[in-house]
A and B are shown apart, each in its own frame.
Chain A
């Protein structure tokens, strides 16, 4: 008797959702017939006949749409991976500087977070690309002749990073870095004050104290937030389309345009993202388990 009522509610809920899904599938089916679009994946193996500016895997326009999507996917992974490293470096430094005793460093760190977090990422990306890179008239040599920055990109030892890739990396890293900095600061704040006083009273220097005493204790508070920021970074990397980088979303967009297969293309995009998410959350889970196991 006690369970029946809740069971009825649950099954009704399930029934409504199923009905709703049936209704939608019915509509889609009807609309696909009406518009003559159809639903199939055969087009995946036709030649893509568009070119991509950047690819890690070998690619030419005569490759299939499927291959083009895979190339886009690997391009996404490349951006996510590099931006992930840089954003972590920026975020941790800014987070630690935010706790610095030096007022000026503290001020700069706060200012950075304040500006970056309150403006849209898309705007920042456009800014980095069109203003940051493309408006460089005279190439800038940072360390002659190792790093050379111009509106053709960053040239390191003859290896050229395109402005699209570079501005995406900078934009994503700077943006995500500001969020990571806040998480790091929160994590550091979660370490009891007594711990800071304790290492100082033992005469341990700040850098060693941070590395060996404070950060290990702050990690459990930092890691979950960090994971969700990494996932956000992966999702935000789809804004690549605004600066002309051929990531998975941009390639999907082109594919959908060329084939008109919007539903199929969308489904493939979602599957692609599911994989990226799985990769990141599994790696983080691994870290989480190992680090927390050792330190707890």
Chain B
């Protein structure tokens, strides 16, 4: 009997250690644990015994490269492999200065490399964007849109902070309008209405239109994040730069913007992840990116009704890609913010 009370006391001690202090706590924890356990066992049971993973295994290529010509599939695969390799070296290695430089340059080259490998051109067969699809399309949509939206966002943020009244009004109007409209409406506009805005005979292909739509949409959000960064650069930094004789342009370029961008990294990361997730909206508007190609696969009579398998598989891919982006951004942020800590100054 004594031993049992001792055991219970020990257990209670253990429980307290992980933060369970009273009966209500214990009760809530118990209920939640049971719920989590039940869901998990059901889910695992389904994954291993009930799900029919044929819809995934037989279409693996399609999820990654879409309708890209099979003979040339090495191109998107090569690109994605390089991205994965680069992500892991960036995440795993503790890097010295030179290697760091090298890796940043590699990251900058990823986009032109991706365009070259997917679109072809010099020395390799050109492939129309119409054949792009799957994860490779999702990634290239995200990367290019972000890289275009970032400078536009910076200009918009500076415009909104400017004391030139007309520029300030126009940029503010643009930002506020963009931010009050749902993304799908902008994408709808890009896919279905921009052709009406163009002169006769001029065509812009739909991937570029999608990139354009994403860029103009995201740039408004990016500009607000950067504006937040600009506002949190202390006034005395600007004063110190003025005293050194720097002009307005130089102050923005060398002092304010770099610091604002570093401050804005976490917010910008969220924008990038949000953008990647939102590329899935193109499935509604006819592009066969990751979700779009999956909906096409589900239309194949062989795979009718395999929704759950496909959705779980997609969730896994999206989750992995987004998590990797988040981790990469954290690494970059840590690197830059080493130098930046205003608390130390004030």
Is A274 an interface residue, CB under 8 A from the partner?
A: yes
Residue pair B277, A120 in contact (C-beta under 8 Å): yes
Q: Which of B18, B19, B198, B322 contacts A27 (CB 8 A)?
A: B198
Contacts of A121 in B (CB 8 A): 277
Query: Would A108 and B32 be within 8 Å (CB), given that A6-B164, A119-B322, A123-B318 are in contact?
Result: yes
Looking at B65-73, B96-104, B177-185, B239-247, the stretch in contact with chain A turns out to be: B177-185
Q: Does A249 contact B (CB under 8 A)?
A: yes
A24–B189 CA distance with the chains assembled, in angstroms: 14
Main secondary structure of the interface of A (DSSP, over half): helix
Inter-subunit contact A235/B32 (CB<8 Å): no
* Number of chain A residues close to chain B: CB under 8 A: 56
Q: Is the CB–CB distance between A262 and B193 below 8 Å?
A: yes
A17 at interface by CB-CB < 8 Å: yes
Residues of chain A within 8 A of B181, CB atoms compared: 235, 270, 273
* Interface: B268 (CB within 8 A): no
Q: Is B85 an interface residue (CB 8 A)?
A: no
The answer, among B184, B193, B311, for a CB contact under 8 Å with A126, is B311
Q: Which residues of A contact B19 (CB under 8 A)?
A: 100-106
**When chains A and B are docked, how far (Å) is the Cα of A293 from the Cα of B112?**
53
Q: A235 vs B188: C-alpha distance in the bound complex, in angstroms?
A: 14
Interface set, chain A 242-278, CB cutoff 8 A to B: 242, 249, 253, 262-263, 266, 269-270, 273-274, 277
Q: Within the complex, which residue of A24, A126, A239 is in contact with B197, where a contact is CB–CB below 8 Å?
A: A24
B181-222 interface bits toward A, Cβ cutoff 8 Å, 1 = contact, 0 = none: 111110011001101111110000000000000000000000
A193 within 8 A of B: no
Q: Is B36 interfacial (CB 8 A cutoff)?
A: yes
A28–B193 Cα distance when bound, in Å, is 9
| Contact present for B319 and A102 (CB under 8 Å) | no
Q: Which of B18, B183, B184 is A103 in contact with, Cβ under 8 Å? A: B18
The answer to whether A241 and B284 touch across the interface, beta carbons within 8 angstroms, is yes
Could you tell me if B280 and A120 are in contact, using CB atoms closer than 8 angstroms? yes
Asked whether any CB of chain B lies closer than 8 Å to the CB of A115, the reply is yes
15 A-B contact pairs sorted by A residue (CB < 8 Å)? A9-B164, A11-B166, A14-B166, A31-B196, A102-B29, A103-B19, A118-B322, A120-B280, A123-B314, A127-B315, A130-B308, A131-B307, A236-B182, A238-B184, A238-B185
By the criterion CB–CB under 8 Å, are B33 and A131 in contact? no
- B200 with A30: CB separation less than 8 A: yes
B25 within 8 A of A: yes
Determine the distance from Cα of A32 to Cα of B196 in the docked complex, in whole angstroms: 8
Interface residues of A in 165-206 (CB under 8 A from B): none
